């Protein structure tokens, strides 16, 4: 696998009165001689960075990027605007979900523009990244299919936490660290090694309050989900955010094809599950089948 880090200037797309950049990494198959024909655009969740897709603290068996480049696909991972190494605009209150979706769409556009031939793009969003990939696909329809992992359009359950209390406790503006230890029961299945959990938590990121507030707002992605007119895959784990996974596909009412995959023996963070390879294989089969 060949990996290239980049900083993509998205200032014009955001309309913010300050330079704004998206940090990204493009992973390519090591033996790729021609431009890719398949690109996965992967967006992490709240409290995470693009390292979720290729964790620097874990062996290669936990790398989504390495697994998919092994199938001949390119993988573009980004740090969401306001997170990781991407710009943190000030004041944070100048951000909105729509602005962040525009920034992500422009980052994708810039990378795809470097290749002359046709390329099929799969948007993959995990958790809060699922909310953002829905918003991007609806407002900037440049993706050929969308996979929504661990995001719930049904009223979300977040382990033992109270969603309404979390929302009420948010500060008006700023960048917040996620209290990760209380989320362990939701994020990780019982077979995930504690050393891996602790390393994952140590590599977390702050999150814009704007995105936290939107993610905790019931129905926030319903209108956008209904606009998506490409194939959609919904993935929920055995322990995850939706109280009724079977009801999730109906929110994508304009999609020509909506599938639901339920991942057994896994919690919310599928990439750390013991069944992660089966999850990736089903996702890869769906991409190929809908291409």
Reply yes or no on whether the pLDDT at 168 is more than 80. no
Reply yes or no on whether the pLDDT at 165 is more than 90. no
- pTM score > 0.95 for this model? yes
Reply yes or no on whether the pLDDT at 160 is more than 80. no
Query: Tell me, what CATH number does 125's domain have?
Result: 3.40.50.1820
Note the pLDDT tens digit of each residue in 45-63: 999 999 999 999 999 999 9
User: What average pLDDT score do residues 11-26 get?
Assistant: 97
Yes or no: say if 204 and 116 are a contact pair by the CB < 8 Å rule.
no
- Kindly indicate the confidence band of residue 260, based on its pLDDT and cuts at 50, 70 and 90: very high
How many domains, in total, are found in the chain? Answer: 1
Higher pLDDT, 167 or 47: 47
Note the pLDDT tens digit of each residue in 98-147: 999 999 999 999 999 999 889 999 999 999 999 999 999 999 999 999 99
List the domain range (segments joined by +) for residue 121.
2-289
d(CA 54, CA 68) in angstroms, rounded, equals: 11
Reply yes or no on whether the pLDDT at 164 is more than 80. no
């Amino acid at each position: 696998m060949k990996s290239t880090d980049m900083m993509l200037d998205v200032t014009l797309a955001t309309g913010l009165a300050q330079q704004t950049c998206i940090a990204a990494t493009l992973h390519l198959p090591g033996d790729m001689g021609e431009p890719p024909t398949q690109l996965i655009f992967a967006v992490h969740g709240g409290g995470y960075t693009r390292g979720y897709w290729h964790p620097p603290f874990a062996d290669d068996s936990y790398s989504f990027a390495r697994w998919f480049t092994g199938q001949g696909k390119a993988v573009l991972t980004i740090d969401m605007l306001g997170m990781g190494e991407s710009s943190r605009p000030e004041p944070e209150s100048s951000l909105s979900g729509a602005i962040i979706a525009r920034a992500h769409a422009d980052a994708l556009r810039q990378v795809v523009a470097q290749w002359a031939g046709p390329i099929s793009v799969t948007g993959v969003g995990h958790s809060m990244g699922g909310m953002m990939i829905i918003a991007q696909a609806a407002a900037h329809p440049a993706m050929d299919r969308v996979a929504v992992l661990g995001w719930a359009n049904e009223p979300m359950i977040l382990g033992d936490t109270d969603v309404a209390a979390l929302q009420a406790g948010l500060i008006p503006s700023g960048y917040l660290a996620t209290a990760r230890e209380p989320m362990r029961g939701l994020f990780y299945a019982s077979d995930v090694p504690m050393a891996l959990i602790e390393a994952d938590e140590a590599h977390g990121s702050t999150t814009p309050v704007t995105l936290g507030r939107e993610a905790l707002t019931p129905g926030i992605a319903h209108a956008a989900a209904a606009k998506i007119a490409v194939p959609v895959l919904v993935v929920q784990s055995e322990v995850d955010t939706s109280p009724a996974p079977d009801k999730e596909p109906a929110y994508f009412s304009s999609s020509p094809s909506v599938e639901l995959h339920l991942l057994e023996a896994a919690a919310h963070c599928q990439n750390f599950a013991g069944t992660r390879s089966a999850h990736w294989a089903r996702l890869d089969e769906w991409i190929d089948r809908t291409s």
